[in-house]
Structures are given as structure tokens and as C-alpha cells.
């Protein structure tokens, strides 16, 4: 665990020490979400996703990814020597 004490400057500004940024994998341009609960503040690093990539992170897509990973892990897959061979099987 990494802990640091920082001073709050005018207008509530703080600087995150590099030790905290490294430990939390915070990079320039990242967004932080602050959650206040029972007087404690938690900081959660948010990674924003481009709109054209958002489909990948939907529940349905991620379930499909997990199923595909399981199929690969269990050997439930086929390989083909050519695209023509694959197309022929799809048409049969």
C-alpha cells in the first residue's frame, strides 16, 4: 500500500505525488471519479472509451468474448487451410 499526505492549496487544488500516480497507474489525460462515503474520499481512475469502440464494452459483447475464450481454452475450435475451405463448410 502506498500512502502520501498532500496539502490542499487555494481553491481546493491538490497535486498527486508521482508515487500515487505510479501505484494507481494514472496517466496524463486520465479522469478521476471521487466518491465520498462516511467522511472518506475514494478516488477511482476512469478510462474513457471512444464512442466507436464502446460496443466492445457492452455486457453482451463481453459475454461473447468470455464464451469465445472458454471455447478456445476447451479446444472447441476448427482451423482451415484456406478461406475457400471455410466458406464451403459454412455453405454445407
Range of the domain at 28: 10-46
Q: Does 64 share its domain with 41? A: no
Q: pLDDT in tens for each of the 92 residues of the chain?
A: 889 999 999 999 999 999 999 999 999 889 999 999 999 999 999 988 888 999 998 999 999 999 999 999 999 999 999 999 999 999 99
- The per-residue pLDDT for 44 is 92
0.75 exceeded by pTM: no
- The per-residue pLDDT for 48 is 84
Q: Does 66 share its domain with 83? A: yes
Per the domain annotation, does 58 fall within a domain? yes
Per the domain annotation, does 2 fall within a domain? no
Domains in the chain, number: 2
Q: Does 67 share its domain with 86? A: yes
Per the domain annotation, does 84 fall within a domain? yes
- The per-residue pLDDT for 67 is 97
Report CA Rg, the chain.
23
Amino acid at each position: 500500500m502506498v500512502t502520501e499526505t498532500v496539502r490542499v492549496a487555494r481553491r481546493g487544488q491538490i497535486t498527486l505525488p508521482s508515487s500515487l500516480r505510479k501505484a494507481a497507474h494514472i496517466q496524463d489525460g486520465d479522469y478521476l471519479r471521487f466518491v465520498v462515503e462516511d467522511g472518506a474520499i475514494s478516488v477511482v481512475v476512469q478510462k474513457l472509451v471512444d464512442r466507436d469502440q464502446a460496443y466492445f464494452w457492452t455486457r453482451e459483447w463481453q459475454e461473447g468474448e468470455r464464451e469465445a475464450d472458454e471455447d478456445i481454452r476447451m479446444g472447441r475450435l476448427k482451423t482451415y487451410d484456406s478461406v475457400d475451405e471455410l466458406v464451403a463448410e459454412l455453405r454445407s
